[in-house]
Chain A
Amino acid sequence: MNQVISIHPVTRIEGHARIDIHLDESGQVCDARVGIAALRGFEQFVVGRPAEEIPRIVNRICGICPWMHHLAAVKAIDGCFGVRPAPAGHLLRELCQVLAHIHDKILHFFFLAAPDFVLGPGGDYAVRNIMGLVRQEPELAAQVVRMRQLAQMMLERFAGKAIHPVAGVAGGFAKPMREEERQGLLADSRVLLDFASYALDYAKNKVFSRFCDALQSLGTITTGFLGTVGHQGALRLYDGSLRLMHPDGTTVDFPANEYERYLAEQVEPWSSAKMVYARSWGEGFSLDPDAPRGVYRVNTLARINVCDRIATPRAQAELEEFRGRFGRPAQGTLLYHWARLIELVYACERTLELLADERITDPAVRVPATPRAGRGIGHVEAPRGTLIHDYSTDDNGCITRANLIVGTTHNIAPMNLSVRQAAASLISAGAVDDEMLNRIEMAVRAYDP
C-alpha cells in the first residue's frame, strides 16, 4: 500500500517547512519532498515605494538575518540612484554584516543543530533541544547564550537596532563611529574570537569526532557550489565576485549584476518556493536523484568549497585542515556545520580587521543621493547563502520592479535531494521510527534553511 509519512513542521530550523516521504507498495522510499509554504509577497508590495525606504521594509524578510536583506537592498538602491557610498560608510556596512554573521552561526550551531549531536539523534524530543543542553551542559550553554547576546548587543549599541536594522542608507551609513565606540567593539570582538576558536575546537573534539561516518554520508549528494570570492580567490561575505563551481570542480567567476546569465529560476507545481539552477551549465534543471541537472548549493559549505583561501590566519589554518580531511569540493552535507564554524572564526577575525582600520571612524559616512530612474543589483553572502536583490526605479526614484533571490532558495533543490537520499538510506520495508525521522531532519538542518 502506498503511504506518505509527514514531518510537520520541520523543527529547529529558521523558517517553516514540512517533509513528505512517499513509500511504495513494498515500503521503499519512492519520493521525498521538502515543502516550504510561504507567500510573503515582498516583490509585490515594494512596488511604488520610494527606493530609499526599501532597506527598512525588506529587512522583515528574515528576523535572523535582517542585516543581510537590509544591506543587499542598500547596495541595490545605491545602484538605482547611481551613488557611490562614502568609504567609511562602506566599512561600517561590512562591519555590521560580519557581526551579524556571528550571532547567526552561534544560534544555528548551538541552539538548533548541536542538540542532535550532543544529546544524540535518537534522544527524547522533549530534551533534545537548547533547554536540554542547558540542563546537561549548563556552563557551555550559558556561555553560548551570553556570546550570542554579546554579538547582537554590539550591533544594537552601535547601530540602534540589531533586529530589523535602520542604519544602512542609500549613499552610506546613518551615523559615524566614534573612537570610544571603536575601542569598545574591539574589546568585545576579541572575546568573540576567543569563543569562536573554543567553539570550533569543542565541535571538532567532542562533537564531529563522534559522527565521522554521518558527516560523510547522511544526506550526502553530489552538486556544484556557489559563493563569493575577493582578491586572489579569498572568501568574502560582504562583496566580491560570484563564483560558480561545477560538480567536477571547475569554476567560473562573474559579477553579481550578471546573475541572470548564469542562474535561472523555475516554479515547481508542488513547491511554493521557486527553485534556482545553474543556467550556464546548459543542462537544464532536474531533481532526478540518479542524475540531477543544474543543481548547486550555497551557504557555508559552498563558500568554503569555492574559495581558494581565507585572508585571516586562524580561519585559513582551519580551511587547510578541512581540505586535508575532506578534499575540495567536499560534498558531505553535515560538513555544513564544520564549515559554519570556520566561517564563525573568519567573521570574528574580519571584525577585528575592520575595527583596526582607522578610516572606519571617518565622520563622512554618507554621500547624499538623488532619486532617478535606474536599476540596481545588490548582493551579499547571507548566512544561508548568496542573497541577490534586484530593483528598478522610475524617474521619481520609486520601485517599479523587484526580484529577490534569497539564500535558502538556491538550496531548495539540493535539500530535496538530500532528504530523498537520507530517507532512502534509512527507511526500508516501511519500517520507520522517530530516530530515523530526526536523522532525515538533520539533513535539512545542515542547510540551516
Chain B
Amino acid sequence: MRPRLSFEWLHACSGCEIALLNSGELLLDLLDRVEIVHFPLLMDHKYTSRAGGEGEVHLPEAEIGLVSGGVASEEHQAVLRAMRASCRTLVSLGTCATHGGIPALRNQWPIAAALKTVFAGSEGGTAIPDTILAPLDRVYSIDEQVAVDVSLPGCPPRSESIIEMIAALLAGEPFHLPCKSVCETCPTIRTGKGQQKVRRFLANAEYDPEKTVAEMRCLLEQGLLCMGPVTAGGCGGKDAPLCIRARVPCRGCFGPVRQGGNQLLDMLNALASNGMGHRDIVDRRSLLRFSGAHGLLKPLRERK
C-alpha cells in the first residue's frame, strides 16, 4: 500500500498548497508514490457523511498529515484535533501554522473590535454573524493547540522544501531546516559601515539593474529596514533570497531563525549592533507581522 497523505488548511490563504503545486515535475513524481486521502483543495473527501451531525469531523488515517494556517475559530480547532488524531506524523506547513503569520496581526485587537470594523458600513445595520464564525480570542499557531512533529515555515515555504520534507518523512529520515538567517544566505555586499537612519521604502534601493544581486550593496546598510538578520533563511534555496532578487528588503516571512525567537526584539538588537537607531521605524510592532502567535502580539489596551 502506498503511504497515505492528508492535507488540511485552517486560517490560511492556500498559498502553501499552491507552493506544493508549483513543484511541477516533483509533484508528478510524488503523486506516483503516495495516496492522498484528504485534501479539500484537490479532492472530494468530506468531514461527515451527509446524514452526519454537527461538530463531528471524521478524517481518514494517514501516515503524514500537513496542516497550513493558524487556528482562529472553534471549527479550526475541531479540524486540527481530528488531523492530530488521524495522522501519525503531523506537519505544520507555512508560517501561519508555525508562527501565526499575517492573520495573527489580528491579535493586536480584541476580537470584538475586529468584528465591529469588518462588519461596519453595511446597509443592513451592524448585524454581526458571530454565531457562525465562532472566533477564538486570538489567532494561534498549530503548536499552541496540538503536538506537532515537524515544522516547515515560509510564506509560502519553498516548493522544493515541501517535497524534500515529505520525501524525508516517507524514507523515515529526520527533516531539519538549516538554522541559517536570511543574511547568511544573502550574497549582497556588506561593508560594516551603513546608514544610521532607517528609512521607509518609498524609493527604490540603489543598484545597477544590469548587475547581479551579489554586486548590490546590502539593503540594511542602504538604510532600508531589512529583516534578514532575524529571519529564518532558505526561501531562495542555494540562490539569493527571493525578495532580495526583486531588490526589495526582507520582511521576515519565514519567522524567527530559532523557533522561540522574537523577531521584534531580535531586530531592535540587530539595528543597535549595526549602529542604527530604531526611533525612525514607523509601527515597530509590524516587526512581528509574521510571528504574532505564541502571545507575542497582544491588544494595545493591555499594554499600559
Binding site for B on A (CB under 8 A): 5-9, 11-16, 35, 37-41, 43-45, 47-50, 52-53, 56-57, 60-64, 66, 107, 111-112, 125-126, 128-131, 134, 141-142, 145-146, 148-149, 152-153, 156, 159-167, 169-171, 174-176, 178, 264-272, 274, 285, 363, 365-366, 368-371, 396-398, 403, 432, 437-438, 441
Contact A403 B201 (CB under 8 A): no
Closest B-chain residue to A61, C-beta based? Answer: B13
CB within 8 Å of A: which B111-144 residues: 113-115, 117-119, 121-129, 132-133, 135
B163-219 interface (Cβ within 8 A of A): 200-205, 209-210
Known: A156-B242, A163-B156, A178-B209. A267 touches B122 (CB 8 A): yes
Contact B246 A160 (CB under 8 A): yes
CB pair A174–B248 under 8 Å, yes or no, is yes
Q: List 22 A-B contacts (CB under 8 A).
A: A7-B46, A9-B46, A11-B42, A11-B43, A11-B45, A41-B109, A41-B114, A44-B117, A47-B117, A49-B283, A50-B282, A63-B12, A63-B17, A125-B44, A131-B43, A148-B21, A148-B24, A149-B22, A160-B243, A166-B248, A169-B201, A365-B204
With A14-B41, A44-B117 known to touch, is A149 a contact of B23 (CB < 8 Å)? yes
Shortest beta-carbon contacts, A-B, top 10: A63-B15, A160-B246, A149-B24, A368-B203, A45-B105, A63-B13, A60-B102, A125-B44, A129-B43, A63-B14
Residue of A at shortest CB range from B235?
A161
Min C-beta distance of A5 to chain B, whole Å: 5
Least Cβ–Cβ distance between A124 and chain B, in angstroms = 9
Which residues of the other chain, A, contact B205 by a CB distance below 8 angstroms? 174
Main secondary structure of the interface of B (DSSP, over half): loop
Report if B1 contacts A (CB, 8 A). no
Enumerate chain A residues within 8 angstroms of B73, measured Cβ to Cβ.
37, 39
A129 to B102, CA, bound (A): 31
A163 and B133 contact, Cβ closer than 8 Å, known pairs A39-B118, A129-B44, A134-B31: no
Shortest Cβ distance from residue A22 to the other chain B in the assembled complex, whole angstroms: 13
Whether B28 and A52, one on each chain, are in contact in the complex, defined by CB atoms closer than 8 angstroms, is no
Q: Using CB atoms, name the residue of chain A closest to B109.
A: A44
CB of B114 within 8 A of CB of A50, answer no
B48 touches A (CB below 8 Å): yes
Shortest A253–chain B CB gap in Å is: 23
What residue of chain A has the Cβ atom nearest to residue B210's Cβ?
A178
Q: Report whether B286 and A49 are in contact in the complex, using a CB–CB cutoff of 8 Å.
A: yes
| Distance in angstroms between the alpha carbons of A38 and B96 in the assembled complex | 15
Asked if B102 and A12 make an inter-chain contact with CB atoms under 8 angstroms apart, the answer reads no
Residue numbers in B under 8 Å from A152 (CB-CB): 18, 22
B119 touches A62 (CB 8 A): no
Q: Is the CB of B17 within 8 A of A274?
A: no
Nearest chain A CB to B25 CB, angstrom units: 7
Whether a CB of chain A sits under 8 angstroms from the CB of B36 is yes
Give the CA-CA distance A11 to B42 in the complex, in Å: 7
Would you call B15 and A163 a contact (CB within 8 A)? yes
Question: How distant is B131 from chain A, measured CB to nearest CB, in Å?
Answer: 9
Q: Evaluate contact between A56 and B251: CB separation under 8 angstroms.
A: yes
Which of B16, B17, B155, B245: most chain A Cβ within 10 A? B245
**Chain A residues closer than 8 Å to B18, beta-carbon distance:** 63-64, 107, 152, 163
Asked if A107 and B21 make an inter-chain contact with CB atoms under 8 angstroms apart, the answer reads yes
Within 8 A of A (CB), among B214-259: 242-248, 251, 253
CB distance from A232 to the nearest CB of B (A): 35
Q: Across the interface, do B132 and A9 meet the contact criterion of CB distance under 8 Å?
A: no
Q: A111-B21, A272-B133 are in contact. Are A368 and B123 (CB under 8 A)?
A: no
Contact A11 B40 (CB under 8 A): yes
Bound Cα distance A35, B117 (Å): 21
Query: How many angstroms from the CA of A164 to the CA of B15 in the assembled complex?
Result: 8
Given A5-B50, A61-B13, A370:B202 Cβ within 8 A: yes
- Cα A267 to Cα B102 in complex, Å, equals 25
* Distance in Å: Cβ of B232 to nearest Cβ of chain A: 16
B27 touches A (CB below 8 Å): yes
Question: In the assembly, what is the distance between CA of A133 and CA of B160, in Å?
Answer: 23
> Which among A130, A146, A265 is the interface contact of B25 at CB below 8 angstroms?
A146
A170 CA / B201 CA spacing, docked (Å): 9
Contact of A52 among B45, B117, B122, B200 (CB under 8 A): B200
Which partner residue on chain A sits nearest B43 by CB separation?
A129
| B105 and A57 form a contact (CB under 8 A) | yes
Q: Are A170 and B202 in contact (CB under 8 A)?
A: yes
Q: Mark B60-97, 1 if CB is under 8 A from A, else 0.
A: 00000000000011010000000000000000000000
CB distance from B263 to the nearest CB of A (A): 15
**Most chain B beta-carbon contacts within 10 A, residue among A7, A11, A13, A152:** A11
Which B residues are in CB contact (< 8 Å) with A61? 13
Q: Are the C-beta atoms of A66 and B109 separated by less than 8 Å? A: no
Chain B minimum-CB-distance residue to A179: B210
- Tell me, in angstroms, the Cα distance from A369 to B201 when the chains sit together: 9
Of the candidates B24, B106, B128, the one having the most CB atoms from chain A within 10 angstroms of its own CB is B24
The answer on a CB contact under 8 Å between A274 and B28 is no
CA distance A83 to B237 in the complex (A): 36
In the bound complex, do residue B124 and residue A266 qualify as a contact, i.e. CB atoms below 8 Å apart? yes
CA–CA, A370 and B200, complex, Å: 10
In the assembled complex, the CB of A104 is this many whole angstroms from the nearest CB of chain B, namely: 9
Given contacts A45-B106, A174-B204, contact A11 B31 (CB under 8 A): no
Contacts A11-B45, A264-B123, A366-B204; A271 near B132 (Cβ below 8 A): yes
A residues less than 8 Å from B121 (CB atoms): 265, 403
Cα–Cα distance between A82 and B243 once the two chains are bound (Å): 26
Contacts of B47 on A, CB cut-off 8 Å? 8-9
Taking a contact as CB atoms under 8 Å apart, the answer to whether B16 and A63 are in contact is: yes
Whether B242 lies near A161 (C-beta < 8 A) is: yes
Determine if B153 is an interface residue (Cβ-Cβ < 8 Å). Answer: no
CB contact between B14 and one of A15, A148, A397 (< 8 Å): that residue = A15
Known contacts A15-B14, A45-B106, A160-B248; A266/B22 CB under 8 A: no
Instruction: Give the docked Cα–Cα distance between A268 and B132 (Å).
Output: 11
Give Cα A165 to B44, complex, Å: 30
* Closest partner residue, chain B, to A403 (CB atom): B121
Task: For A166, give its contact among B103, B117, B246, B282 (CB under 8 Å).
Answer: B246
Closest chain B residue, CB of each to CB of A150: B24
A160 near B101 with CB under 8 A, answer: no
In contact, B248 and A169 (Cβ under 8 angstroms): yes
Residues of chain B within 8 A of A50, CB atoms compared: 200, 282-283, 286
The answer to whether A44 and B106 have CB atoms under 8 Å apart is: yes
Could you tell me if B13 and A62 are in contact, using CB atoms closer than 8 angstroms? yes
Select A265's contact among B114, B122, B286, beta carbons within 8 Å: B122
> With the chains together, A7 CA to B102 CA distance in Å?
29
Contact of B99 with A by CB under 8 A: no
